[in-house]
Structures are given as structure tokens and as C-alpha cells.
Amino acid sequence: MTAPAVGDVVAERTVHLTRESLVRYAGASGDFNPIHYRDDVAAQVGLPGVLAHGMLTMGLSVETIMPWLGDAGRILEYGVRFTRPVVVDADAGADVTVVATVGAVDAGAARIDLTVTHADTTVLGKAQVRVRLDA
């Protein structure tokens, strides 16, 4: 891996989520909260629709840098703030776009800032991954 510079975009992608994606994630994670698959329950609690799991959004966001990073063992720290929900329409689904930009480089490590959006809205705030650069 070549040493990145502040401002470099090291990865970007758009992930299309469907209701099937949510069911599969629920099975893998054990999170069967009905707001993630039932429109009636989501409406009853005042949500704009069925929501993607926050941890699903968080996971797919950090996974975006893996082709660049090469080894998950290089991740030193990862954190986000959940700022807006990802509403997954029954027919259209939802697209989540992730852009990973180098925010800082110091002493063999880098901070990667993830910009995570859905429908032109940032859904994760302060999404930052600290990674080790040396082998």
C-alpha cells in the first residue's frame, strides 16, 4: 500500500439495500426488531418507514475500505454517530453511498473519514476509521 495523503479518496461505492437484505442481516445478527421488516410497526412508532439496521449501515460503510486496506487487522479504531435513518422502500429499496477520504496521517497510521449518505442525506456522522499503515 502506498502512503496516502490527506484528502485522498481511497475508496467509494454504493450499496443497494432491499428488504431481503434486512431479513438476511436480521438472521445473521439476531436483531429481529419489527421496525426492520414491518411497515405497520414502523408507522405505529412514528418512523417514516422500515429502517435498515444501524449496525448494518455501519458495517457496510467500513467494509468499503477493505479492498484498499487489504487486511481488517489493520483497523485500530472505528466509530460513528447514527444521525439519520436509512429507510428501505418495499419496492425501490435504498442506496447507501460511502466515500472514504484520508483525514489525517501520523506516525504509521491514518484516519479515514467516511461520508455515508442515503437520498442526499448524511446518515452517519463523525464516521472515522483509524488504520495502521505499516505492515
Q: What pLDDT score does 3 carry?
A: 78
Per-residue pLDDT at 40 exceeds 90:
yes
User: What's the Cα-to-Cα distance from 64 to each of 13, 36, 59, 61, 116, rounded to whole Å?
Assistant: 7, 23, 9, 6, 11
Q: Tell me which architecture the domain covering 9-132 has in CATH.
A: Roll (3.10)
Q: What is the pLDDT of residues 44-53, one digit of tens each?
A: 999 999 999 9
Per-residue pLDDT at 54 exceeds 80:
yes
Mean pLDDT over residues 41-61, rounded? 97
The conformational region for residue 72 under phi > 0 = left, psi -120 to 50 = alpha, else beta, is alpha
pTM: 0.94
Per-residue pLDDT at 1 exceeds 90:
no
Q: What is the pLDDT of residues 73-113, one digit of tens each?
A: 999 999 999 999 999 999 999 999 999 999 999 989 999 99
Of 61, 55, 53, which Cα lies nearest the Cα of 128?
A: 61
